[in-house]
Amino acid sequence: MSKVKNYLSLIKFSHTIFAMPFALIGFFVGIASLKRIPWVKIVSSMIETPLQKTKVFLTHHYYILILVLFCMVFARSAAMAFNRYLDRQFDAKNPRTAVREIPKRIITPKNALIFTIVSCILFVVTCFFINRICFYLSPVALAVVLGYSYTKRFTPLCHLILGLGLSLAPIGAYLAVTGAFAFLPILFSLAVLFWVSGFDIIYALQDEEFDKENKLYSIPASLGKVKALRVSEFLHLLSASAIVLAGYYGNFRWLYWIGAAIFIGMLIYQHSIVKPNDLKRVNVAFMTANGIASVVFAIFVIADLFIN
């Protein structure tokens, strides 16, 4: 059990709370749209009774949901373990990160790399059992989420690459259900991209001086804390705009708008408690505010889809 806990800590499993709710949004938006596709009605008409129709539909999509959840876990595990493996020398130098598993020799670099490779293989295999398009796109998804770990070495736009990686969750889950692209899940993906990029800049404020000293790139290291917070605010404004546009485009009702108001309120809240000269509440902004934002928003969106 202690080894399991060490690996869960290595990949910061609790941070799954950020992207997982949006994956569920993509999944249930896919189910809601699938009910309107003609071929689904044709297949349903071949089944004898309404009860059988419902049973077949739900059984298939429970199966897909489990695979989507596994994909999320495997992709994120690979990305986080690879990030820890690649950044192990920087983590050892930084007092904030020196307590991580690899610098403290709780997990060896070799084992972290093996864990990454196994997670990548499991991700691709799981995509194979979902559908053809997810399988074909699985290497692209891995390239994005693994490639992020290199970006801090050459561009301050690394926060946007992290956001791009997590933004694959809603559109990937939608593809798992429908096998086709659509504009609505893309809007949710844009919301995630700008949201994650914005709060990652807030989190990176803690390492501004360390990044400068070690020639690492980030928005705070490039622009300073004050301007970095302005960039974060702008990105969160774009995220809120995508949430609002998705609400109108998807013809959502009042439950969605309650969730949207809470999500946007949490964005405003985290900027109200983090100041350039006061970073004591960065972790509250990063974990608590954003965790509440994603979970509560997902609950209201899904409820809006299926509660008449």
H or E element that contains 55: helix 50-86
Q: How far apart are CA 306 and CA 308, in angstroms?
A: 6
* 3 state DSSP class of 60: helix
Candidates 120, 137, 126, 116; CA nearest to 66 is 126
pLDDT for 199: 94
Segment 222-230 long-range contacts (CB within 8 Å, at least 24 positions apart)? 222/156, 223/156, 224/276, 225/276, 225/277, 226/276, 228/201, 228/204, 229/201, 229/202, 229/205, 229/271, 229/274, 229/275, 229/276
* 3 state DSSP class of 300: helix
Q: Quick one: angle between helices 50-86 and 16-34, nearest 10?
A: 150
For the segment 266-277, what is each residue's pLDDT rounded down to a tens digit?
999 999 999 988
Do 78 and 116 contact (CB within 8 A), yes or no? yes
Candidates 138, 136, 111, 127; CA nearest to 67 is 127
For the segment 149-166, what is each residue's pLDDT rounded down to a tens digit?
999 999 999 999 999 999
pLDDT for 45: 42
* 3 state DSSP class of 253: coil
pLDDT for 9: 79
Do 249 and 187 contact (CB within 8 A), yes or no? yes
Q: Domain with 52 in it: what CATH number?
A: 1.10.357.140
Weakly modelled stretches of the chain, pLDDT under 50? 37-55
One-letter amino acid for residue 257 of the chain: W
Model pTM? 0.90
Neighbours of 247 (CB within 10 A): 18
Q: How many domains does the chain have?
A: 1
Do 276 and 296 contact (CB within 8 A), yes or no? no
pLDDT for 198: 96
Strand partners for 275: 278
| Residue 190: domain span | 2-306
Q: How far apart are CA 24 and CA 300, in angstroms?
A: 12
High-pLDDT (> 90) share of the chain, %: 77
Q: How far apart are CA 203 and CA 197, in angstroms?
A: 10
Q: How far apart are CA 168 and CA 171, in angstroms?
A: 6
